[in-house]
Amino acid sequence: MRPGSTWRATVLATLLWACGAATAQDGARPVVGVSWMARVSYVVDGDSIWVRPEGGGARVKLRIDGIDAPEICQNHGPQARDALRALAQNQRVRVTVWAHDRWGRAIASVVRAADDLNLAERMVAEGWAWTDSHGWRQGKYWRAEAEARAAARGLFTDAAAERPADFRARHGPCSAPPG
């Protein structure tokens, strides 16, 4: 390593950390744990969106954290997408990335700026997504899901509604429209 290169690398890493939104705005992988503002430019399905960071830069594809909505080619998939579109399309949102999945999407909480509406929780409460539960873990929005089930909202009106993971295991993935 050349003299001074460690110092430069440390300064650069510190600047990128301090300006986490900048890394999300230049098309690079968004920084985990840093909140930034964006506008929803496209709704892919009931749990995936594209956002354009404020201040410009490349679009970022997000998977909304904590929920699992029907696949677009699955029963209730188009309705779930339309419900998220009604909540989010062209809306200013606060994004906080928590991880990246194996397909490179940022997994993020997304909150509508105008009224602090948590999009994930609302999708579950309206019955268009399941809380993301695994085994014994109930998931963040288990109460909202229980209420949506009890009130027979959205996909919970259908006793045969199938979780997306089960659908993919039986049918494979959908061919998603280009984002």
Q: Where are the domains of the chain?
A: 5-171
Taking only the tens of pLDDT, the chain with its 179 residues reads: 445 544 444 434 433 334 443 333 345 788 889 899 999 999 999 999 999 999 788 899 999 999 999 999 999 999 999 999 999 999 999 999 999 988 788 999 999 999 999 999 999 999 999 999 877 788 999 999 999 999 999 999 999 999 998 998 998 888 755 44
pLDDT at position 88: 98
Rounded CA-CA distance 93/60 in Å is: 13
How far, in Å, CA of 36 to CA of 110, rounded? Answer: 10
Q: Please give the CATH topology (third level) of the domain spanning 5-171.
A: OB fold (Dihydrolipoamide Acetyltransferase, E2P) (2.40.50)
Q: Which residues touch 142 (CB under 8 Å, ≥6 apart)?
A: 131, 133
Task: Give the pLDDT score at 27.
Answer: 59
- pLDDT, residue 86, reads 98
Q: b/e map of 65-75 (b: 16 or more CB within 10 Å)?
A: bbbbbbbbebe
